[in-house]
Structure 1
Amino acid sequence: MLIHPWDAPRDDDWQRWLTTHDFGQLAVNGPPGEPPYVQPLHFAYDTARGEAVTHLARPNPLWPAVEANPDVLLSVVDDYVYVPGPWQAEPGSPPEHGVPTSLYAAVQLRCRAHVVDDPARKAALLNRQTGHFQPEGGSARAAAGEEPYGRLLAGIRGLRLEVTGVRAKFKYAGKRSEEVRDRIAAGLAERDGTRDPEARAHILRRRTS
């Protein structure tokens, strides 16, 4: 992923962003002669511990690949929008000369994967993940050997992803003039489509920070 200086995160941008963008794709090296395995999944990122936790069904074909090579990549992309060419035309140039583009946020976490099979540790991992998605509660806590989830633990394996490297990109017209950024923000506000408000917020925040 190419990251220009004007698209780089500022301070802990990416960490804050991951606390609310918690669905991504886990890429694992495939066996020799095979392409990488890519698994969509929910995860919970723990800023303090520098790790993400998740789980998958025991029959998932990803497990042998993880055990053969635990160096994996967790990729998250969101807040993406299409920007029409005229919105990007610089002052003094015809609108039709503007170049269309995509705006998006992307975080790639290089991780060391740790498989969790011990029932008690697996239950603790599940409770961490559930606590992230349901902080208000509403579900019983998992505990090894106890209802309602104890008997289901054997059907899954936990996965603790220890972050060893981060590449993050917030591509929101950072190299464009203030006039163009304002025009894009106004266009997004008027269009008000899916993810347009989120992309506009990134433009405005990065313009003032």
Structure 2
Amino acid sequence: MLIHPWDAPQDDTEWQRWLATHDFGQLAVNGPPGEPPFVQPLHFAYDADRSEAVTHLARPNPLWTALETNPEVLLSVVDDYVYVPGPWQADPAARPDHGVPTSFYAAVQLRCTAHVVDDPQEKAELLNRQTGHFQPEGGSAPAAVGEAPYGRLLSGIRGLRLEVTGVRAKFKYAGKRSAEVQDRIAGALAGRGGPRDTAAREHLLRRRGG
């Protein structure tokens, strides 16, 4: 992922706060020789204090063999993306139809070392961490080895701890454009009111400081 200086996070807090509210991504795992990478969409729970993400997958998933061969993986999360028409980006001195269209988006890529969790007790603890993240209000029985309702299901899954070893983050929201063009884009996003336009506009305004 190319990250220009004007698209880089202003500090670690920026991407950490964003990631705290985005917990669905794609896990990219190196495929066998001669094969493309495996890409698995999944929910995960990111723990900033432990610098890891936890998740689980069904035991028959083909990712496991690839993970055991090479545990270095990438967890990619992308959201708040919109299409920006060319006229919105045109320089004030140029013709509107000469503006260059682009995409706005926020992205965080976590480079991780994957640790497979097969111990039943550890799997139950991992599941409870995930449930606690997604259902902080409760409502579900805890997972416990040998106990209903989830104890008998533990053998059908494998847990996964993703130890974060590197982070690349990007917030592509007209950072290199003039204030005049940024104002035009912000107004156009507000007027269009499409999916994710509000979130994209908030990023643009926040990153320019107003």
Q: TM-score range by the shorter chain?
A: over 0.9
Q: Percent sequence identity over matched residues?
A: 81
Q: Distance in 1 between matches of 2:40 and 2:130?
A: 17
Q: Distance in 1 between matches of 2:76 and 2:119?
A: 27
Q: Distance in 2 between matches of 1:197 and 1:14?
A: 18
Q: Distance in 2 between matches of 1:51 and 1:61?
A: 22
Q: Distance in 2 between matches of 1:138 and 1:208?
A: 40
Which shifted more, 114-123 or 89-98? 89-98
Correspondence 1:176-191 to 2 at 5 A: 176-191=177-192
Correspondence 1:5-24 to 2 at 5 A: 5-11=5-11, 12-24=13-25
Shift of 1:64: 0.3
Q: Distance in 2 between matches of 1:117 and 1:132?
A: 21
5+ residue gaps, structure 2 = none
Correspondence 1:41-80 to 2 at 5 A: 41-80=42-81
Q: Distance in 2 between matches of 1:139 and 1:191?
A: 40
CA displacement 1:67-100 (0-9 Å, x = unmatched)? 1100000011110000011100111211111111
Which letter does structure 1 place at the counterpart of 2:97?
Answer: E
Q: Distance in 1 between matches of 2:122 and 2:96?
A: 59
5+ residue gaps, structure 1 = none
Which letter does structure 1 place at the counterpart of 2:2?
Answer: L
Report what 2:206 is aligned to: 205
Report what 1:101 is aligned to: 102
CA displacement 1:103-133 (0-9 Å, x = unmatched)? 0011111000000011111011111111111
- Does 2:195 match 1:194? yes
Report what 1:130 is aligned to: 131
Q: Distance in 2 between matches of 1:136 and 1:186?
A: 38
Q: Distance in 2 between matches of 1:182 and 1:130?
A: 42
Q: Distance in 1 between matches of 2:183 and 2:124?
A: 49
**Structure 2 SS opposite 1:25:** strand
Q: Distance in 2 between matches of 1:105 and 1:151?
A: 40
Which letter does structure 2 place at the counterpart of 1:147?
Answer: A
Which letter does structure 2 place at the counterpart of 1:10?
Answer: Q
What is the TM-score normalised by the length of structure 1?
0.98
Shift of 1:145: 1.0
Cα RMSD (Å): 0.8
Correspondence 1:107-118 to 2 at 5 A: 107-118=108-119
**Structure 2 SS opposite 1:136:** coil
Which shifted more, 62-71 or 11-20? 11-20
